[in-house]
A = this chain, B = another copy of it.
Amino acid sequence: MEGVDYLRDERSKAQFDVETMKVAWAGSPEAFLVCDRMAKLVANDPVFEKFSKPMLGRKELFKNTLRKTAHAWKLVNDLHLTEEEAKWLRHYIDEPSYTDLQWEMFVPALEGQGTEEQKKKWVPLAKTMQIIGTYAQTELGHGSNVQGLETTATFDRQSDEFVIHSPTLTSSKWWPGGLAKVTTHAIVYARLIIDGHFYGVHGFIVQLRSLEDHSPLPGITLGDIGMKFGHGTYNTMDNGVARFDRVRIPRDQMLMRVSQVTKEGKYMKSNVPRQLGYATMVSVRQTIVSDASKALSRAVCIATRYSAIRRQFGSRDGGPETQVLDYKTQQSRLFPLVASAFAFRFASDWLKLLYTDVKQRLEVNDFSTLPEVHACTAGFKSLTTAATAEGIEECRKLCGGHGYLISSGLPELFAFYVPACTYEGENVVMLLQVARFLVKTVSDLGNKQPVGTAAYLGRASLLVQKNCVVQTAEDWLNPIAILEAFEARAARMAVGCCQRLAEFKSPEEGFAELSSDLAEASLAHCQVIVVSTFIRRLQQDIPGRGVKQALEVLCNVYALFLLHKHQGDFLATGYLTPKQASLANDQLRTLYSKVRPNAIALVDSFNHTDHYLSSVLGRYDGNVYPKLYEAALKDPLNDSDIADGIHQYVQPILKQKLHSSKL
């Protein structure tokens, strides 16, 4: 029935104050208010309706998103929203659109790589949307390896211009969002050539379309790269291909903050340190980790609520069946994911602090922490996106058959999320970057004390000797015991890899040969960081009845779940005995029982609107079955009792007249 809260009993079981937990999740009371206001603004505006998306063809879908984007920009202006508010507005609209590129790639690239003069000219145009830009780096044949790009920018001294050119099919720019149909400008990454010499890959501001009639400029071929995974997801975006046939741009449209080309064709590096880009990198990765926590929180919210409504087996004397959420197998798959969502959330909060720290250091030319920051953020990116993608699909499976329906929200969430494993650094490539850092850190231990998230490696010689002292399942509730176990395992794996690397003729050969083991060692290192961040967060003051206690349970679930999942590492390195690993697993089961009464309240704490979740299974009120039925009826196939095609293609079979019918 409408208006009934089918999850009320579940909500009444909560042992903590949900409203305060919402603030803990959001990060601060201010952050909570902004998010809450923007989420509701979107949810209550019919323009932002999402349920019809899967029924739209590509063109309609795209047009519909253009409409939403224009409406959003109108709201930003009419309501005088701040940039922060506008960012959340876009987030809750929950549809990839060209403005994502404008605000997250184009403007930051101008600000980060442009000279003062360039910024003065281009940034205001972009911020007022008089021009719309994208970031054109990847090519049909080239992804992660920027040095492999083929597009050329050849300096023509005579005309004081660069000639942007796509020499091969594989050099076609491929993937940039908005590139196909919308953007008027792009920052094109190309090989700078002066007098036949190659001076590295640089960014160039290239106008793509006429600001008058939107047609592509001469020499520029633009197109859409076709449908992507999922119905809505990135199909609302015109990811594009661009080819350049000797397109000329003025010399001052090379982004020249770090390197310049003079009108004489002289290539010069400015005294601006190249490391400046690191701050942007930290900020981008912070967003990725934050997005991971949000995506995972959506999935677990849906699966947890539905698991409380869904009943299966276990009926006694004809009574109701057991709530699926009460099964230990369901809990052991679901609760670690709830805990992971919180872990990633606190990791992203911490990355915000790291960003501020890095920025301050860069301003005074202190680059000492950069290698560690680079490794730690790469590792965070890899760990959180991989776990989130897997976690969403696990949540879909936890919803049984109905999880396969688009109306469950989970298939689209998965299809929408998975690119995060690939973009901004493929996850395994990221882990190998972490591995390079680990190997270097361990090799330098004699000379250099590691800092920040790698500081524990400074105690490596101790950690490879010390063994775990846990004797009871309760001992595993001690954060010191947990943290030492993760540190010891990671340190031993890193040291072990270094020892084996030394057996190879060349370090490069060894690194290539052992790359899988190195990636595993890196993951172990990343887990140390996520676990320790969670633990440190809990050492702070956290207000609200039972809030801190509930989070402590989740922190332990997260850590012991990882310990069980990777017990091979813990045992292989010899830090744990099988008995101790088994005690950890016993404790984990006990912890699940502690999560159970709080389960619904925990996912309520994410404060997700039904609009944002767009899931019949995850509805706040738990009114699942009638609404599933209602959603089904909207399918176009239900427009008529006798579907189109039945008369032509089914009846001739039934009436045994197929041989004479025309197909």
Binding site for B on A (CB under 8 A): 47, 54-55, 57-59, 62-63, 66-67, 69-71, 73-74, 77-78, 128-132, 138, 140-145, 147-148, 169-170, 172, 175, 180-182, 184, 211, 213-216, 222-231, 234, 238, 241, 311-313, 315, 321, 327-329, 332-333, 389, 393, 396-397, 400-401, 403-407, 411, 415, 418-419, 421-423, 426-428, 432, 512-517, 519, 564, 566-574, 578, 581-582, 585, 589, 625-626, 628-629, 631-639, 641-654, 656, 658-659, 661, 663
Q: Are B327 and A654 in contact (CB under 8 A)?
A: no
Chain B residue at minimal CB-CB distance from A330: B428
* 5 closest Cβ pairs, A-B complex: A568-B568, A63-B645, A567-B568, A229-B411, A66-B649
CB-contact partner of A226 in B180, B428, B634, under 8 A: B634
Q: Are B70 and A180 in contact (CB under 8 A)?
A: no
Q: Are A227 and B55 in contact (CB under 8 A)?
A: yes
Distance (whole angstroms) from the CB of A249 to the closest CB of chain B: 20
Complex-state Cα separation, A459 to B226, whole angstroms: 58
> How many copies altogether?
2
Q: A328-B512, A632-B225, A645-B66 are in contact. Are A214 and B571 (CB under 8 A)?
A: no
11 A–B pairs (Cβ distance < 8 Å), ordered by A? A63-B644, A73-B653, A77-B658, A143-B400, A223-B633, A229-B406, A229-B415, A328-B514, A329-B515, A564-B568, A572-B581
Task: Note all chain B residues with C-beta closer than 8 A to A130.
Answer: 654, 656
Task: Note all chain B residues with C-beta closer than 8 A to A329.
Answer: 428, 432, 515-516, 519
Q: Are B512 and A214 in contact (CB under 8 A)?
A: no
Q: Are B77 and A632 in contact (CB under 8 A)?
A: no
Task: Note all chain B residues with C-beta closer than 8 A to A172.
Answer: 629
Complex-state Cα separation, A582 to B279, whole angstroms: 40
Q: Are A74 and B654 in contact (CB under 8 A)?
A: no
Chain B residue at minimal CB-CB distance from A47: B663
Q: Are B169 and A512 in contact (CB under 8 A)?
A: no
Q: Are B215 and A70 in contact (CB under 8 A)?
A: no
Distance (whole angstroms) from the CB of A390 to the closest CB of chain B: 8
Complex-state Cα separation, A54 to B564, whole angstroms: 41
Complex-state Cα separation, A426 to B329, whole angstroms: 12
Q: Are A407 and B635 in contact (CB under 8 A)?
A: no
Q: A47-B663, A228-B406 are in contact. Are A328 and B513 (CB under 8 A)?
A: yes
Distance (whole angstroms) from the CB of A128 to the closest CB of chain B: 7
Complex-state Cα separation, A207 to B516, whole angstroms: 58
Q: Are B411 and A228 in contact (CB under 8 A)?
A: yes
Q: A329-B516, A404-B229 are in contact. Are A224 and B169 (CB under 8 A)?
A: no
Q: Are B654 and A512 in contact (CB under 8 A)?
A: no
Complex-state Cα separation, A538 to B251, whole angstroms: 67
Task: Note all chain B residues with C-beta closer than 8 A to A426.
Answer: 397, 400
Task: Note all chain B residues with C-beta closer than 8 A to A628.
Answer: 140, 225
A77, A175, A225, A311, most chain B CB atoms within 10 A: A225
Chain B residue at minimal CB-CB distance from A132: B654
Task: Note all chain B residues with C-beta closer than 8 A to A216.
Answer: 641
Chain B residue at minimal CB-CB distance from A131: B654
Task: Note all chain B residues with C-beta closer than 8 A to A138.
Answer: 401
Complex-state Cα separation, A482 to B105, whole angstroms: 52
Q: A62-B637, A663-B47 are in contact. Are A419 and B404 (CB under 8 A)?
A: yes
Task: Note all chain B residues with C-beta closer than 8 A to A224.
Answer: 632, 635, 637-638
Task: Note all chain B residues with C-beta closer than 8 A to A585.
Answer: 517
Distance (whole angstroms) from the CB of A45 to the closest CB of chain B: 11
Complex-state Cα separation, A105 to B378, whole angstroms: 50
Task: Note all chain B residues with C-beta closer than 8 A to A234.
Answer: 404
CB-contact partner of A663 in B67, B169, B238, B415, under 8 A: B67
Q: Are A654 and B400 in contact (CB under 8 A)?
A: no
Task: Note all chain B residues with C-beta closer than 8 A to A184.
Answer: 654
Task: Note all chain B residues with C-beta closer than 8 A to A71.
Answer: 663
Q: Are B650 and A70 in contact (CB under 8 A)?
A: yes
Q: Are B645 and A328 in contact (CB under 8 A)?
A: no
Q: Are A405 and B226 in contact (CB under 8 A)?
A: yes
Q: Are B663 and A74 in contact (CB under 8 A)?
A: yes
Chain B residue at minimal CB-CB distance from A321: B148
Task: Note all chain B residues with C-beta closer than 8 A to A659.
Answer: 74, 77-78
Chain B residue at minimal CB-CB distance from A332: B516
Complex-state Cα separation, A515 to B327, whole angstroms: 9
Distance (whole angstroms) from the CB of A115 to the closest CB of chain B: 25
Distance (whole angstroms) from the CB of A627 to the closest CB of chain B: 11
Task: Note all chain B residues with C-beta closer than 8 A to A397.
Answer: 418, 421-422, 426-427
Chain B residue at minimal CB-CB distance from A588: B516
Q: Are B423 and A415 in contact (CB under 8 A)?
A: no
Complex-state Cα separation, A223 to B635, whole angstroms: 9
